[in-house]
Structure 1
Amino acid sequence: MRKQGHGSRAVLAALAATVLGVTGCDAVGGNSPGPSGTGAQKAKPRPAWDSSPASVAAVGDSITRGFDACAVLTDCPEVSWATGGSAEVDSLAVRLLGRAKAAERSWNYAVTGARMADLPGQMGQAAARKPGLVAVMAGANDACRASTSAMTPVADFRADFEDAIRILRRAAPKTQVYVASVPNLKRLWSQGRTNPVGKQVWKLGICPSMLGDADALDAAATERRNTVEQRVEDYNKVLKEVCAKDRHCRFDGGAVHDYRFGTGQLSQWDWFHPSVNGQARLAEIAYRAVTGKKA
């Protein structure tokens, strides 16, 4: 009987050792080494963000094309906040790469008038370059429609943005992404409506859902603008949430949306798109987001 008891104790000891081995993660102290193998790979910390990418690609809409910054109803990519070479702007690419390298190692695939549905195609072009960083600014045209009912549904906006990120990841899994928030369109209306020339240009069809009947302050006009404003906020929530799911993506935290564009930062031709000075301010915001440094 003693021998059997001794054997039972040995079995219990072995069993205890096995259990402790399986649950070792909970049994060891905070400074003890963690488990090895697959569990260790899952526990690896998020990789450090590279604040010095070797190249920059840009996707988006008219803002990233420098529309109406240099001449009326004309693109001016030279002053683009993302990739332009203008010394007045010092674009994100110039600040990150230097002027000479930016001219060789940055690409602008944005298209004036583009909406989020166009971003997957642009992202495919950018991904082919395998850039160190892709700068994204899109969404304003999804809210700037002929009417509020024609604005892009939030669910479609999300699906298109997710698709764009998937396309990038298939070709360039480690490319970093900077995502700018959609500007505050209602604030741009409130600033631009003080200029009679700008309001005449607005009648050509610039963001009618927000800028149509610019001087109207009745209940219907107010509700229309508030509806656009809410949709922009919804879009920015989508950008934040989708970006947060990608380990190599940074959202600007609403910095572009919150920036208080004044008349000096608006185009003298349409009083809505950024002027050269406004493009420079967007470049500063992007640089701070990408590097964590002051401009």
Structure 2
Amino acid sequence: MSRRFPITGALGGGLILLLTACTSAAPTESPAPSEAVGDLRPVTSVAVVGDSISVGMSACGTRDACPSASWAFGDDTAVDSIVQRIAAATGTDEITPLSLARPGARVADRVDAVQNARGQTADLVLVEVGSNDVCASDVSQITPVGEFGASYRELLETIRAGVPEAPIVAYSIPDLLQLWEGGRSDPATVRLWNQSPSCSTLLGDADSDAAADVQRREDVVDTLAGYNAAIVEACAAVTGCVSDDGAVSQVAFSPDDISEVDRFHPSLAGQAALAAAAWPAAQKALTE
């Protein structure tokens, strides 16, 4: 039976968060030995707080979202998403996804998204957000590291207040520099990037080696490192939060892992690579 945990006094003038921590009967089947690191707690619903990556943007041959390809809750067997892996490990036939992911989302606006998730349920919360805080149309739009850290801590605390018993997994941000390194020598890719405002802070003037452009990219890399450190610090301060120890940021994407549509978002294969990297932290969270 679900329990509700209303809270007031959070951001937005006392909006009530009614994410619900669910409990259910233990699964009737044992986890597959190859999948489990121990007995996983029952899971009937998974919330995903994220951005365009988590909705499978450009993963299915168009520039649209493709939720079936999501590393977190997709049902495409080629991805083997976290939800699919949990189902296989626990013998649970149905796990309800709650998507709090939106293209272009930044950490600060996900706080409001979580607060507004009234009447929803979550036995596990996956947080993969932050790329858009540094991927902007102009360097002036980059979120400073200190501000990012404060917002991320607030996001985790808001989730925790709403679902006191649900594990939270805080994932690192992918290594965006790989995109530039892999595509800067391809004229077609450079043209595609120059026609799009997506991540101009890193991908703009991709074939330029001018000092200012080199410095701009170095600043983006340093900012990402600061973000990932802030994610670990924020997670350590929140009870029941598990970080991925940089696993997602260490994923080495091959050319096939990047969508041919925009040469920016993960392809179906890229989503599968993210799911594989993200799974150990989810397992850990569900066994602690």
- Asked if TM exceeds 0.5, the reply is yes
C-alpha spacing 1:127/1:257, structure 2 compared with 1 (3 Å): farther
C-alpha spacing 1:212/1:55, structure 2 compared with 1 (3 Å): same
**AA aligned opposite 2:169:** Y
Match of 1:227 among 215, 219, 223: 219
TM-score normalised to structure 2 length:
0.79
Deviation at 1:76, TM superposition (A): 0.8
Match of 2:260 among 265, 268, 273: 268
Instruction: Work out whether 1:240 is the aligned partner of 2:223.
Output: no
Which residue number in structure 2 is paired with residue 146 of structure 1? 137
- Give structure 1 stretches of 5+ with no counterpart: 1-47
C-alpha spacing 1:211/1:49, structure 2 compared with 1 (3 Å): farther
**Cα distance in 2 for residues equivalent to 1:124 and 1:282:** 27
Residue pair 1:198, 1:268 contacting (<8 A) in 2 also: no
- Give structure 2 stretches of 5+ with no counterpart: 1-37
Deviation at 1:52, TM superposition (A): 5.1
Deviation at 1:232, TM superposition (A): 0.5
Q: Residue deviations 1:230-284, cap 9 Å, x none?
A: 0001000110000011221111111111111110111111222111001011111
User: After the TM superposition, which residues 192-203 of structure 1 pair with which residues of structure 2 at under 5 Å, given as runs?
Assistant: 192-203=183-194
Which protein shows a greater Rg? 1
Residue pair 1:56, 1:132 contacting (<8 A) in 2 also: yes
**Cα distance in 1 for residues equivalent to 2:39 and 2:156:** 17
**Cα distance in 2 for residues equivalent to 1:166 and 1:49:** 27
Residue pair 2:47, 2:125 contacting (<8 A) in 1 also: yes
Which residue number in structure 1 is paired with residue 122 of structure 2? 131
167-176 vs 217-226, greater mean Cα deviation: 167-176
Residue pair 1:181, 1:256 contacting (<8 A) in 2 also: yes
Residue pair 1:130, 1:171 contacting (<8 A) in 2 also: no
Residue pair 2:46, 2:98 contacting (<8 A) in 1 also: yes
**AA aligned opposite 1:114:** A
Deviation at 1:66, TM superposition (A): 0.6
1:229 is paired with a residue of what secondary structure? helix
Instruction: Work out whether 1:96 is the aligned partner of 2:60.
Output: no
**Cα distance in 1 for residues equivalent to 2:92 and 2:133:** 33
**Cα distance in 2 for residues equivalent to 1:167 and 1:274:** 29
C-alpha spacing 1:171/1:242, structure 2 compared with 1 (3 Å): same
Match of 1:119 among 110, 113, 116: 110
**AA aligned opposite 1:289:** A
Which residue number in structure 1 is paired with residue 282 of structure 2? 290
Which residue number in structure 1 is paired with residue 3 of structure 2? none
Instruction: Work out whether 1:190 is the aligned partner of 2:181.
Output: yes
Residue pair 2:43, 2:95 contacting (<8 A) in 1 also: no
Which residue number in structure 2 is paired with residue 160 of structure 1? 151
**Cα distance in 2 for residues equivalent to 1:77 and 1:134:** 17
2:217 is paired with a residue of what secondary structure? helix
Greater RCO (CA < 8 Å, at least 6 residues apart)? 2
Residue pair 2:172, 2:228 contacting (<8 A) in 1 also: yes
C-alpha spacing 1:250/1:292, structure 2 compared with 1 (3 Å): closer
Instruction: Work out whether 1:59 is the aligned partner of 2:55.
Output: no
**Cα distance in 2 for residues equivalent to 1:103 and 1:193:** 43
Deviation at 1:138, TM superposition (A): 0.6
Residue pair 2:82, 2:275 contacting (<8 A) in 1 also: yes
Deviation at 1:292, TM superposition (A): 4.9
Matched residue pairs, number? 246
Deviation at 1:289, TM superposition (A): 1.6
Which residue number in structure 2 is paired with residue 77 of structure 1? 67
**Cα distance in 1 for residues equivalent to 2:62 and 2:215:** 30
Q: Residue deviations 1:44-92, cap 9 Å, x none?
A: xxxx995653321111111001111113321111100001111110110
Q: Which has the higher helix share?
A: 1
Residue pair 1:126, 1:134 contacting (<8 A) in 2 also: no
Match of 2:200 among 208, 225, 228: 208
C-alpha spacing 1:102/1:76, structure 2 compared with 1 (3 Å): farther
2:205 is paired with a residue of what secondary structure? coil
Using the aligned pairs only, state the percent identity: 35
Residue pair 1:157, 1:235 contacting (<8 A) in 2 also: yes
